[in-house]
Amino acid sequence: MRRLFYKGILADTIEIGGPDAHHLMHVMRAKPGQKVIVVDDENQVARMEMVAFSAEKVTLQLKERLEANTESPIELALGICLLKADKMDFVVQKAVELGGNRIVPIFSHNCVVRYDDKKAKQRRDRWQKIADEAAKQCGRTALVEVLPIETMKKFLEHAPYEDDMDTEFLFCYENEDKLSLKESLRRTTSKRYLLLVGPEGGFTLEEAEAIVAAGGQSVTLGPRILRAETAAVAGLSIVQYEKGDLGS
């Protein structure tokens, strides 16, 4: 059943407008009586019936509230250095499926792609759309925010979570050969994780030092050099498996 994210709080009757209404009416050609799953701003979920259509709005009536929280017990953010367009699209989609809560695209020294302001905004809008679509497709009960692209310097100046007191900042580093991600996760009971993955060209030595100075713990994902998109998927999976709900 199609899933919608409603900007508001569930009620007996709600109205949906914008692109979701357009999609229901003109793409799905929905008819009165058909049902959708609606998730609200408080992660509440309900089965609702489409009862009326106007030029721009669909009216929905609540049929049944569902106990369907699919969010992980941990908060997981991904800092991903810019990759070529199709790889980035892939990482965004997979990060949502794997229960990430926030994605921060980062421009670092060895990034091959470069965007001017206009293009950067277009890219971010595109990633946000991919994230929203993935959230609907995989049955998330919360949307995932894609932040605007920022430089590595700016990223390191602020934590991706406002109060970063107990955020475990893990930095996947291709030159780390001692501490594994697995071992570093065994040492913590944190409920918040930030995973940082480099671009195709890897991190410079200066960046690696700056990341460690900013509180990042460098970890290895194993003896093989993974492509950045593989590293992102593997890293998120490992954190979610060890500390969250993947495989449960």
Residue 173 within binding range of ligand SAH, rule CB under 6 A? yes
217 lines the binding site for ligand SAH (CB under 6 A): no
Considering only CA atoms, give the Rg of the chain.
20
Q: Does 180 bind ligand SAH (CB under 6 A)?
A: no
Candidate ranges 39-47, 59-67, 152-160, 214-222; the one touching ligand SAH (CB under 6 A): 214-222
Which residues is 146 bridged to in the sheet?
103
Q: How far is the CB of 167 from ligand SAH (least distance, A)?
A: 18
Helix axis angle, 85-97 relative to 117-137, nearest 10°?
Answer: 40
| 221 closest CA partner among 230, 210, 208 | 230
Q: Which residues contact 47 (CB under 8 A, 6 or more apart)?
A: 1, 35, 36, 37, 38, 63, 64, 66
- Residue 198 binding ligand SAH, by CB under 6 A: yes
The only residue of 45, 203, 208, 216 in contact with ligand SAH, by rule CB under 6 A: 203
Nearer to ligand SAH, 135 or 232 (CB): 232
> Binding of ligand SAH at residue 202 (CB under 6 A)?
yes
Share of the chain residues as helix, strand and coil, in percent rounded to the nearest 5: 35, 25, 40
Binding site for ligand SAH (CB under 6 A): 172-174, 197-198, 201-203, 220-222, 224-226, 228, 231
